[in-house]
Chain A
Amino acid sequence: MADSVIIVRGVHKAFGKVKALGGVDLEVEGGTILGLLGPNGAGKTTLVRTLTTLLTPDQGTATVAGFDVVKQASDLRRVIGLAGQYAAVDEHLTGRENIELVGRLYHLPKAEVRARATELLARFDLTEAGDRTLKTYSGGMRRRLDLAASLVADPDVIFLDEPTTGLDPRSRLALWDIIAGLRREGKTILLTTQYLEEADQLADRIAVVDQGVIIAEGTANELKAKVGGDVVEIEMRDPAGARRAHAALAGRGATLDADTMRVWLPATQGSRTVAHAINTLDEAGIHDAEVSLRRPTLDDVFLALTGKATESGGADEDAATGVKA
């Protein structure tokens, strides 16, 4: 990829004995959104902090917009915007003051900063709240303001570290709209998330991170294809039942997720796999299973790649057929 805006090569980072990143390679093409998907503690934030010069990698190199994160840190800071999970805004300032402070610190002319602040407040639906201090802001408003402040200097590359974590569904949708809008403007965006749905919705490409390494990368469809088409899901009433069902179906490549009491196998033969599964379970004396055939979700991808489920657990929306066995 000649036009990669973010290039990461063999980046390692440890905090004492805890290895946060164990050799990350990654490229993000200009004008696209890369979704960095993984559970808590996978190393997503560490990677974002490395790329935004807040952390120095122990090993490896990374460049953003052609600037090395270590050697050209101050040039790099000029062209990036960073918004995070913990809205980095000042409680005692008004919304406008927050944006203007950041804009002035980017050394933009005062008049331009004023105009930008007005424009951003309007765009993020904060015009009315703009002259109030943040004490009166909700979590979603703070997150929007944080994002607005990071956009004041019109950066080409934007890092969003779990931008919607902890937000209510309405605020999440509002932020999704904003992020999709930035993509249309041609910004390059690296977005971390623990929500598969979020990566699926927003990202052009998805990199799955687990324990400090990228274990898979591709479009949402490519990742889903790795699971091999549709999925048969067997839902049990208790973990013991799930283990029994798993044992019965082990020969068919079943995966067990004891936490959600589900067993799951690739539907290589479509509905016939469902029939086989029901028969097999029946022969094993398991009669209380709920069996369904559905399109694969990114949850399945994660489960297939790591052998464990993500925080959000399995999704049922795509269920195509549901059969009681």
Chain B
Amino acid sequence: MGYAITDTMLMSWRNLLHYVRVPQLIAFAVVQPIMFMVLFVYVFGGAISGSSAGYLAYLTPGIIVQTVIFGSMNSGISIAEDLQKGIMDRFRALPISRGVVLAARTTSDLLRHLIAVLIMAGVGYIMGYRFEGGLLDLAGAFGLIILVGLAFSWVAATIGLLVRDTQTAEIAGFTWIFPVVFASSIFVPVETMPAWLQVFASHSPISLAANAARGFSLGNADWAAAFQATAWMLGITLVFAMLAVWRFRRLE
């Protein structure tokens, strides 16, 4: 048990080597969100906010949340890949803690999220986006986004362990996350949605996270949203980490 942390680091090193050896994995992970950002700002921006520039300030923090959530789904695909290729058998036959493989996957994917976030922020900057909060806001925004990535990585890991196949993991990951992400305050204010959808969207932890990130970005921190979002993300992490480790123990 005392080895759990060093084992997780070793296994994370293995996961990260994949990104070094196959940099396309990172490239593909950011191409789509960049496309989203450019299209939403220049195509829908005027219609949504009256101007592309005005929408940029609204959208950028939200789309970074979206990038991290979508990116998290890859944790499940990677786990399914390890299962499919049989290397999971090797790991499972090793004298390591049962949570190591999963914890390594979610932590190494955190690092990948970080890279994606930096690239997205850079693209936003080029397009004219500016972070208006102070250092505390920046730290808050950053911490929150990392937590969002961690929470959804554990959800994806659980899915990957359940479906055990990369293609199914991809479908099972994205079919539900797509509507859930769109039915939030990431792209448009919840108040513009029909009443029945507002009920869902305004309570969605993704809306809370997007609102909190936006608050930090505008230099107008919404601490209530930030705390609620943090609580949600910690809760999701805890529940799904337990579910995933439980599934891992029962792999056959």
B95 & A86 in contact (Cβ 8 Å cutoff)? no
A93 & B17 in contact (Cβ 8 Å cutoff)? yes
A47 → chain B, closest Cβ, in Å?
13
B92 & A102 in contact (Cβ 8 Å cutoff)? no
Contact with A along B1-43 (1 / 0, CB 8 A): 0010001001100100110011000000000000000000000
B21 & A92 in contact (Cβ 8 Å cutoff)? yes
- In the complex, whether B94 has a CB less than 8 A from a CB of chain A is yes
- Which residues of A sit under 8 angstroms from B3, Cβ to Cβ? 107
Given known contacts A82-B89, A87-B86, A105-B7, A97 and B94 CB-to-CB distance under 8 angstroms:
no
CA gap between A54 and B87 in the complex, in Å: 12
B197 → chain A, closest Cβ, in Å?
41
A88 & B90 in contact (Cβ 8 Å cutoff)? yes
Name A104's closest neighbour in chain B (CB-CB): B10
**Contact residues of A between 24 and 80, Cβ < 8 Å to B:** 49, 52-56, 74-75, 77-78, 80
Given known contacts A93-B17, A105-B7, A88 and B87 CB-to-CB distance under 8 angstroms:
yes
CA gap between A126 and B73 in the complex, in Å: 37
- In the complex, whether A238 has a CB less than 8 A from a CB of chain B is no
CA gap between A90 and B87 in the complex, in Å: 7
A113 → chain B, closest Cβ, in Å?
11
CA gap between A84 and B93 in the complex, in Å: 12
- Which residues of B sit under 8 angstroms from A107, Cβ to Cβ? 3, 95
B92 & A91 in contact (Cβ 8 Å cutoff)? no
- Which residues of B sit under 8 angstroms from A78, Cβ to Cβ? 95
A86 & B92 in contact (Cβ 8 Å cutoff)? no
CA gap between A91 and B85 in the complex, in Å: 10
Contact with A along B61-90 (1 / 0, CB 8 A): 000000000000000000000000111011
CA gap between A84 and B87 in the complex, in Å: 10
- Which residues of B sit under 8 angstroms from A93, Cβ to Cβ? 14, 17, 21
A282 → chain B, closest Cβ, in Å?
55
A181 → chain B, closest Cβ, in Å?
22
CA gap between A107 and B4 in the complex, in Å: 11
- Which residues of B sit under 8 angstroms from A54, Cβ to Cβ? 89, 92-93, 251-252
A contact residues, total (Cβ < 8 Å): 32
Name B98's closest neighbour in chain A (CB-CB): A74
A56 & B252 in contact (Cβ 8 Å cutoff)? yes
**Contact residues of A between 210 and 229, Cβ < 8 Å to B:** none
- In the complex, whether B114 has a CB less than 8 A from a CB of chain A is no
- In the complex, whether B96 has a CB less than 8 A from a CB of chain A is yes
A92 & B18 in contact (Cβ 8 Å cutoff)? yes
B99 → chain A, closest Cβ, in Å?
13
Ordered by A's residue number, 19 sampled pairs between the chains whose C-beta atoms are within 8 Å are: A49-B252, A53-B92, A54-B92, A75-B95, A77-B95, A82-B89, A82-B90, A84-B86, A86-B86, A88-B86, A88-B90, A90-B14, A90-B87, A91-B85, A97-B14, A101-B14, A105-B10, A106-B95, A149-B90
- Name A's B-contacting residues (CB within 8 A): 15, 49, 52-56, 74-75, 77-78, 80, 82, 84, 86-93, 97, 101-102, 104-107, 133, 149-150
Given contacts A54-B92, A86-B86, 13 further A-B contacts (CB under 8 A): A49-B252, A75-B95, A77-B93, A77-B94, A82-B93, A84-B89, A88-B87, A90-B14, A93-B21, A97-B14, A105-B7, A105-B10, A105-B91
